[in-house]
């Protein structure tokens, strides 16, 4: 859509906007969308040019939709330098030379600005026009005077700059711009929306302009700091719609347009390639074209996912891996030779990686790119299992691509179901408009889900499975497939579709061959690697495995789709927009009001890490309204930490309704004060309507104290189960200072270590010393709740749970301690002596008695586990890495340890695991 028309309406007679482009102004950490217009002024002797910068609505159609921010005269000292390659293709025409956003630096004597402009031919044309407009250095040409600019007045919305800025007022000098992610030039995050608006530039780092040219001269695969996820927060994005007069009205207009979408869109098919490959920690050993491009027309979009990219301990604990760059290069070289592709995004969580490419000519129609990760491994966050996702807008269709690696082992199908549900509930994408709630996976027109889902074939022995495969009786075999069974009961992937399985199972093979697993475990073949989809106008053209690739013990899988994408008819869009604007003007003068289905909420018997949810409905009246839960006076948040409203803000059209869920969840951050009575399940929420009144909601309830979140010394003085004690006793013991035990003020008969810790360790010692993957594989949430109840009630004889669930409960217990086992005040000393066992023992000897006891008890137990390493496959490095971050915590705001500190914490614990006391 030509947005120079909107600029033209703001210009005086005789001035002309030659071309306009939307970009992102990078000022320090701020990212603000701007509409840039190159304006020409004719005078008697020649002509002058200036760059006009506007703040704007998302849909800048008329002059009312833009507000002049700044003018930069194109004078003799004006320079515009490109800092990142845009549409370059190497002389050899190599496919992996990909498109990127163009980062440009604008300099004059008075100012220096950095912009990111959208990838595409329009940007190239804009830069060429600006270059032609520069006056040059011919002394015969008179100096530009720019007298015509005095009639324009520029304003900026920031409150710290109340005085309107003149056209020569610099907003800053030499701000850094967003870094370019990846080892090759790429398209990545900053993209235009349906009308070209650039939004949400993000990268894994920040580059100063001086670094940009250095980066582009590096070899294609030398740079390893790939973009992994969006780093723009909601508050950062607020700059994009920071002008109040554009906020609510723009949301109303957009919502109306969504309602009338069928009036101005039509469907056009695009070819999508979706592929998944568990590479078993291997590096690429063969070309990927047999998987990615052989025997198919060139796709429009590639969605390529990997699992087990790197199985090393370094990748698991420190998240860095050279395998990312190796497989990225292999994929880029394996794309279809009949088309050129731009990399839109790369996202990785440990060994789970997802790549999104589009054909070069479609890149300008990709917008609102976001990427997120969810770890579902041990303690609900380790990234050896979980999912990564990329969401984007393609023309007018929203698409979400998810790559997941779910829990392993045949019997763990319930854990796989839980992983799927966790990914769906925790994967959230920020929207451009900060007034709107985050998007979940389900809130997209098209969902493509790929990965090693790990569902197995059950109830059949290995030989029967192999015989059915030999006979190619896949239909009979499929009847015993766990994913089919679980989908039939609507336990997972409700509403998703999977194509017919006409290929043999993709797992497990002897690496380098097509032979089934001949190892000692002799795994039964299974269709672990799958592709599913959900949405309208989707036709699957193929679904197959690729036996030619033998790098891994899995075979890669691909599916090709024709997906109907909503295209915008611009003439009909403009007419619809005019109708919507007229409706907006009629409604804008009225005051909104809503009714609430419920205003009082009571949460009874709240337990540690057990979610409770209550909901209510907001029913809107006759006026569009924007609602938001707002902070009460002198409070930093609209609610207490244990409470969350979902969504906490949003927009309602006339006569529409929305359900709000109040989620109450007590975790390690909030449990201690609830145990001590310093906090209670009590809160008041204020629901505010923009241009309307406030509504008050009351929240009440009671919390059942737990050993989780209780201090070590407190638990040592609790000889009875915590739920058997009076609340006042729990309060007194929880508030008791840590050093009481060493100050001569001894309470009666303390325990040496918390009995709850002993119960879990003893259970593991009796049942799990030979358990493979202990402390690495998560348990079930339902079993954790059972374990917690057994500990809090003292009914340990009723404990019945898997070894993995008890091991995870032990880790969660250590994580929940308000003061870690190694106290905060000794943290630095521990890191400093991490290579000296004698000095390390001396630090431990300075801990309070109960903390010393717990540390020594845990080390003794872990050394016992290491004696059985031939069976449980544990080693000192794994245990030191897992327990290092729990026993040693950074006291500065309880921040996570950085990589260097992680390694020192690991070394400290490693000393005690490898040396007898």
- Residue 599 is predicted with a pLDDT of 96
Q: What backbone torsions phi and psi does residue 756 show, to the nearest 5 degrees?
A: -65, -40
Can you give the CATH number for the domain in which 48 is found? 2.30.29.110
- Domain-embedded: residue 831: yes
Contacts for 820 with CB less than 8 Å, ≥ 6 apart: 814, 886, 887, 888, 889
Sign of CA dihedral 34, 37, 41, 45: positive
- Residue 196 is predicted with a pLDDT of 29
- Domain-embedded: residue 583: no
Is the previous residue joined to 508 through a cis bond, with omega within 30 degrees of 0?
A: yes
| Same domain membership, residue 336 and residue 474 | yes
The two structure tokens encoding residue 49: 């040019």
| Same domain membership, residue 636 and residue 563 | no
pTM over 0.85: no
- What are the CA-CA distances from residue 133 to residues 51, 73, 129, 188 (Å)? 10, 11, 6, 30
- Residue 868's domain comprises 765-914
Token pair 């007590």 is at which residue?
Answer: 666
- Residue 915 is predicted with a pLDDT of 87
Is the previous residue joined to 647 through a cis bond, with omega within 30 degrees of 0?
A: yes
Q: What backbone torsions phi and psi does residue 8 show, to the nearest 5 degrees?
A: -55, -35
Q: How many CB atoms within 10 Å of residue 748?
A: 6
- What are the CA-CA distances from residue 880 to residues 340, 505, 911 (Å)? 47, 37, 9
Q: In this structure, are residues 402 and 447 in contact, taking their beta carbons and an 8 Å threshold?
A: yes
Q: Phi/psi class of residue 790: alpha, beta or left (left: φ > 0; alpha: ψ in -120 to 50)?
A: alpha
d(CA 119, CA 98): 10
- Residue 239 is predicted with a pLDDT of 29
- Residue 430 is predicted with a pLDDT of 85
Paired sense of beta strands 301-307 and 265-278, if any: parallel
- What are the CA-CA distances from residue 548 to residues 289, 333, 565, 598 (Å)? 10, 17, 33, 61
- Residue 912 is predicted with a pLDDT of 96
Q: State the total domains in the chain.
A: 4
Q: In this structure, are residues 170 and 156 in contact, taking their beta carbons and an 8 Å threshold?
A: no
Can you give the CATH number for the domain in which 610 is found? 2.60.40.10
Q: What backbone torsions phi and psi does residue 187 show, to the nearest 5 degrees?
A: -80, -55
Token pair 């002024």 is at which residue?
Answer: 41
- Residue 101 is predicted with a pLDDT of 61
| Same domain membership, residue 367 and residue 310 | yes
Beta-bridge partner residues of 276: 305, 557
| Same domain membership, residue 603 and residue 552 | no
d(CA 388, CA 405): 9
SS (H, E, C) 339-361: CCEEEEEEEEECCEEEEEEEEHH
The two structure tokens encoding residue 3: 């947005």
- Domain-embedded: residue 589: no
The two structure tokens encoding residue 96: 């992996």
Q: Which of 135, 165, 196 is the last residue of a domain?
A: 135
Q: In this structure, are residues 405 and 350 in contact, taking their beta carbons and an 8 Å threshold?
A: no
| Same domain membership, residue 600 and residue 561 | no
Q: What angle do CA 454, 426, 446 make, to 5 degrees?
A: 75
DSSP element (H, E) containing 204: none
Among the listed residues 148, 135, 141, 129, the one whose alpha carbon sits nearest the alpha carbon of residue 41? 148
| Same domain membership, residue 624 and residue 564 | no
| Same domain membership, residue 360 and residue 479 | yes
For the chain, residues with pLDDT lower than 50 are 84-100, 157-246, 740-745
| Same domain membership, residue 112 and residue 36 | yes
Q: Which of 104, 135, 166 is the last residue of a domain?
A: 135
The two structure tokens encoding residue 63: 């002059």
d(CA 294, CA 276): 16
Can you give the CATH number for the domain in which 349 is found? 3.60.10.10
| Same domain membership, residue 604 and residue 459 | no
- Residue 747 is predicted with a pLDDT of 58
| Same domain membership, residue 846 and residue 794 | yes
Can you give the CATH number for the domain in which 865 is found? 1.10.555.10
- Domain-embedded: residue 160: no
SS3 content of the chain, % helix, strand, coil (to 5): 30, 25, 40
DSSP element (H, E) containing 530: strand 529-535
Long-range contacts of 385-388 (CB under 8 A, 24+ apart): 385/419, 385/778, 386/349, 386/352, 386/419, 386/422, 386/423, 387/349, 387/352, 387/419, 387/423, 387/427, 387/451, 388/305, 388/347, 388/348, 388/349, 388/352, 388/353, 388/354
| Same domain membership, residue 557 and residue 600 | no
- Domain-embedded: residue 715: no
The two structure tokens encoding residue 528: 């672990």
- The distance of Cα 367 from the centroid of its chain, to the nearest Å, equals 17
- Residue 381 is predicted with a pLDDT of 62
- Domain-embedded: residue 310: yes
| Same domain membership, residue 394 and residue 504 | yes
- Domain-embedded: residue 760: no
Among the listed residues 363, 792, 391, 784, the one whose alpha carbon sits nearest the alpha carbon of residue 609? 784
- Residue 481 is predicted with a pLDDT of 97
- Domain-embedded: residue 740: no
């Amino acid at each position: 859509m030509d947005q120079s028309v909107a600029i033209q309406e703001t210009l005086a007679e005789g001035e002309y906007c030659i071309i306009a482009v939307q970009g992102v102004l990078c000022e320090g950490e701020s990212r603000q969308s701007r509409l840039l217009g190159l304006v020409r002024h004719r005078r008697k002797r020649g002509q002058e040019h200036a760059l006009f910068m506007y703040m704007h609505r998302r849909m800048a159609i008329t002059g009312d939709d833009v507000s002049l921010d700044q003018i930069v005269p194109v004078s003799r000292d004006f320079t515009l330098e490109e800092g990142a390659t845009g549409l370059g293709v190497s002389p050899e025409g190599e496919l992996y030379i990909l498109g990127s956003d163009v980062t440009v630096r604008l300099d004059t004597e008075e100012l220096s600005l950095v912009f990111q402009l959208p990838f595409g031919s329009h940007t190239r044309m804009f830069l060429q026009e600006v270059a032609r407009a520069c006056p040059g250095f011919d002394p015969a040409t008179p100096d530009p005077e720019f007298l015509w600019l005095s009639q324009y007045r520029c304003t900026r919305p920031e409150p710290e700059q109340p005085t309107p800025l003149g056209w020569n007022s610099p907003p800053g000098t030499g701000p850094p711009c967003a870094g370019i992610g990846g080892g090759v030039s790429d398209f990545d995050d900053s993209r235009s929306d349906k009308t070209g608006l650039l939004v949400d530039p993000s990268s894994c780092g920040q580059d100063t302009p001086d670094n940009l040219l250095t980066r582009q001269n590096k070899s294609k695969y030398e740079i390893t700091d790939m973009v992994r996820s969006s780093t723009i927060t909601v508050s950062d994005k607020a700059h994009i719609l920071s002008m109040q007069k554009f906020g609510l009205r723009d949301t109303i207009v957009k919502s109306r347009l969504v309602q009338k979408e069928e009036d101005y869109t039509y469907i056009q098919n695009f070819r999508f390639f979706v592929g998944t490959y568990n590479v078993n920690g291997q590096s690429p050993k063969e070309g990927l074209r047999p998987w990615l491009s052989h025997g198919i027309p060139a796709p429009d979009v590639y969605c390529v996912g990997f699992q087990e990219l790197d199985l090393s301990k370094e990748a698991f604990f420190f998240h860095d891996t050279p395998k990312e760059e190796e497989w990225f290069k292999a994929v880029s070289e394996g794309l279809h030779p009949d088309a050129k592709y731009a990399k839109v995004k790369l996202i990785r969580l440990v060994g789970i990686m997802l790549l999104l490419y589009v054909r070069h000519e479609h890149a300008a129609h990709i917008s609102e790119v976001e990427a997120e990760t969810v770890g579902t491994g041990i303690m609900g966050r380790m990234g050896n299992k979980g999912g990564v996702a990329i969401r984007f807008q393609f023309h007018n269709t929203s698409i979400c691509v998810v790559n997941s690696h779910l829990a392993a082992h045949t019997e763990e199908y319930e854990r796989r179901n839980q992983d799927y549900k966790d990914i769906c509930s925790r994967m959230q994408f920020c929207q451009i408009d900060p007034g709107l709630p985050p998007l979940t996976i389900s809130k997209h027109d098209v969902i493509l889900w790929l990965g090693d889902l790990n569902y197995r074939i059950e109830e059949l022995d290995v030989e029967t499975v192999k015989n059915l495969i030999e006979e190619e009786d896949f239909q009979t075999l499929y009847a015993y497939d766990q994913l089919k069974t679980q989908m039939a009961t609507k336990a997972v992937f409700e509403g998703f579709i999977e194509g017919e399985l006409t290929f043999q199972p993709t797992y497990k093979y002897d690496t380098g061959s097509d032979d089934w697993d001949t190892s000692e475990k002799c795994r039964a073949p299974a269709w672990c690697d799958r592709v599913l989809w959900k949405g309208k106008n989707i036709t699957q053209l193929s679904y197959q495995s690729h036996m030619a690739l033998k790098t891994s013990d899995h075979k890669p899988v691909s599916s090709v789709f024709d997906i109907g994408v909503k295209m915008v008819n611009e003439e009909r869009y403009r007419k619809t927009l005019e109708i919507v604007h007229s409706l907006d003007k009629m409604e804008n003068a009225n005051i909104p009001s809503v009714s609430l289905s419920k205003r009082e909420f009571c949460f009874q018997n709240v337990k540690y890490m057990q979610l409770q949810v209550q909901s209510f409905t907001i029913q809107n009246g006759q006026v569009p309204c924007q609602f938001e839960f707002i902070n009460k006076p002198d409070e930093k948040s609209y609610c207490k930490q244990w409470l969350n409203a979902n969504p906490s803000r949003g927009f309602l059209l006339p006569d529409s309704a929305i359900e709000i869920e109040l989620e109450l969840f007590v975790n390690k951050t909030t449990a201690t004060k609830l145990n001590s009575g310093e906090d209670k399940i009590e809160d008041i929420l204020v629901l505010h309507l923009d241009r309307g009144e406030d509504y008050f909601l009351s929240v009440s309830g009671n919390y059942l104290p737990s050993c989780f979140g209780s201090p070590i010394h407190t638990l040592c003085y609790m000889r009875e189960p915590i739920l058997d004690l009076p609340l006042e006793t729990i309060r007194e013991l929880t508030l008791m200072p840590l050093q009481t035990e060493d100050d001569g003020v001894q309470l009666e008969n303390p325990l040496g270590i918390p009995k709850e810790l002993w119960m879990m360790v003893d259970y593991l010692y009796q049942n799990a010393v030979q358990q493979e993957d202990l402390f690495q594989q998560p348990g079930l949430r339902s079993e954790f709740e059972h374990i917690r109840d057994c500990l809090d009630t003292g009914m340990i004889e009723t404990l019945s749970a898997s070894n993995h669930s008890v091991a995870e409960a032990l880790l969660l217990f250590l994580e929940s301690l308000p003061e870690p086992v190694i106290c905060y005040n000794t943290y630095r000393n521990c890191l400093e002596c991490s290579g000296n066992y004698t000095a390390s023992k001396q630090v431990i000897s300075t801990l309070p008695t109960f903390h010393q006891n717990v540390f020594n008890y845990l080390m003794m137990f872990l050394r016992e586990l290491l004696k059985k390493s031939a069976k449980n496959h544990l080693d000192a490095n794994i245990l030191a890495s897992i327990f290092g971050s729990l026993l040693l915590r950074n006291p500065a705001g309880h921040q996570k340890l950085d990589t260097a500190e992680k390694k020192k914490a690991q070394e400290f614990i490693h000393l005690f695991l490898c040396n007898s006391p």
